[in-house]
Amino acid sequence: MSEIVFDNVWKEYGDQIVLEKITLTIAPRSFVALVGPSGCGKTTFLKLLLGDEAPTSGTITMDGVPLIAEPGPDRGVVFQRYSVFPHLTVLGNVLLGAEMARPLTARLFGAARRRAVEAARALIGEVGLSGAEDKYPAQLSGGMQQRLALAQALIMRPKVLLLDEPFGALDPGIRAEIHVLMKQLWHETALTVVMVTHDMREAFTLGSRVIAFERPRDRPEERERYGALLSRDINIWPPRIAGEASIFDPDRDDPVMPLGSGRDDLAPMQGAKP
């Protein structure tokens, strides 16, 4: 499910080459963090994945099927800003994805609406926004808006979640809290996550794989003719695997080992009588 393959992808804007010969396979359920200096094509890479831009040459496939150059419900996205709709309440924002199922009115009524509201409320609770259902985004803090944006994207059950510096504008305390949530969501939801970030620490605390972009030739006269390449591709060690506990230094919110040396709380043995 949702294996993404970039095969020799180039992206040019007019004469300017932005990305060069990107060949890359993103495994299902990995958490890829894209890092690199400003203007090195991280966001362009994300736009290619999103379908907002088409590659100039090369192909991008998801599960062997070429990606359509248009955003769709299989790929969710959270931007740094403007991800949520200012005219809808928290509940309305999360509900909108479900309501798009109706082609003509884009609204749900009756029992279908009640079911959707129930699902939306559950998700709002999961991202920690219970009680704020009737507030408008302008009444929420930056961190809460990003939580809302996550819930809004996740209600579509996308195969891939794309994050464009989603936590860059948050202060460190709030950012740490939302990192916990992000990890939890990644472990519990069938998601591949691709995140652009400026924050190395964030990349290494969240990612299962960190990919660095770099322009090897960055003198002014070279900038037009050479684009950015993948310069580093690091798999985090010990490996982080979605939904699986790690015996090495597990985080508080990672899945826990049912048994063994990783536990110190004397969990009852399986099958043992209480």
Partner 1 sequence: MRWINTKPGPGVQLALMLAPFVLLVIAYGMGSAARLADNPADKLLPALASLTDAINRMAFTPDVRTGEYLLLTDTLASLSRLSWALAIATVIALVVGMVIGMLPYMRALLAPFVATVCMVPPLALLPVLFIVLGLGETAKITLIVIGLAPPMIRELALRVGELPREQLIKAQTLGGSSWQIALRVVLPQTLPRLLTALRLQLGSAWLFLIAAEAISADAGLDYRIFLVRRYLAMDVIFPYVAWITLLAVIMNFALDRLRIAVFPWSNLERQG
Span 26-65, contacts to partner 1 by CB under 8 A: 50, 52
**At closest approach, how far in Å is the CB of 256 from partner 1?**
33
Cross-strand pairs, 11: 19
x/- mask, partner 1, residues 202-241, rule CB under 8 A, reads ----------------------------------------
The token duo for 97 is: 């994805």
Q: How far is CA 158 from CA 39, 185, 186, in A?
A: 28, 12, 12
- Exposure letters 53-82 (e unless 16+ CB within 10 A, then b): bebeebebebeeeebeeeeeebbbbbbbee
User: Which C-beta is closer to partner 1: that of 2 or that of 17?
Assistant: 2
17: which strand partners? 12
Q: Residue holding tokens 């009524």? A: 109
Least distance (Å) from partner 1 to the CB of residue 207? Answer: 22
User: Per rule CB under 8 A, is residue 77 in the interface with partner 1?
Assistant: yes
Cα–Cα–Cα angle for 7, 204, 185, rounded to 5 degrees: 85
Residues in contact with partner 1, total (CB under 8 A)? Answer: 37
User: Of the candidates 54, 69, 100, 247, which one interacts with partner 1 according to CB under 8 A?
Assistant: 100
Cα–Cα distance between 113 and 261 in angstroms, integer? 48
Q: Are 124 and 91 in contact (CB under 8 A)?
A: yes
Which stretch in 12-20, 26-34, 71-79, 208-216 sits in contact with partner 1 by CB under 8 A? 71-79
For partner 1, the closer of residues 106 and 256 by Cβ is: 106
Closest approach of Cβ 68 to partner 1, in Å?
11
Task: Tell me if 132 sits within 8 A of 144, measured CB to CB.
Answer: yes
Among 9, 40, 96, 148, binds partner 1 (CB under 8 A): 96
Please give the helix or strand (H or E) that residue 22 lies within, else none. strand 16-26
**Is the peptide bond between 238 and the residue preceding it cis, with omega within 30 degrees of 0?**
yes
Angstrom distance (rounded) from CA 243 to CA 256: 10
Looking only at residues 136 through 165 of this chain, which bind partner 1 when binding is defined by CB under 8 A?
136-139, 149, 152-153, 156, 158
Among the candidate windows 13-21, 81-89, 185-193, 247-255, which touches partner 1 by CB under 8 A? 81-89
Phi, psi for residue 147 in degrees, rounded to 5:
-60, -45
Rounded to the nearest whole angstrom, what is the least distance from the CB of residue 227 to partner 1 in the complex? 23
Stretch that binds partner 1, among 22-30, 79-87, 198-206, 238-246 (CB under 8 A): 79-87
Q: What are the residues binding partner 1 (CB under 8 A)?
A: 50, 52, 70-73, 75-77, 79, 81-88, 96-97, 99-101, 103-107, 136-139, 149, 152-153, 156, 158
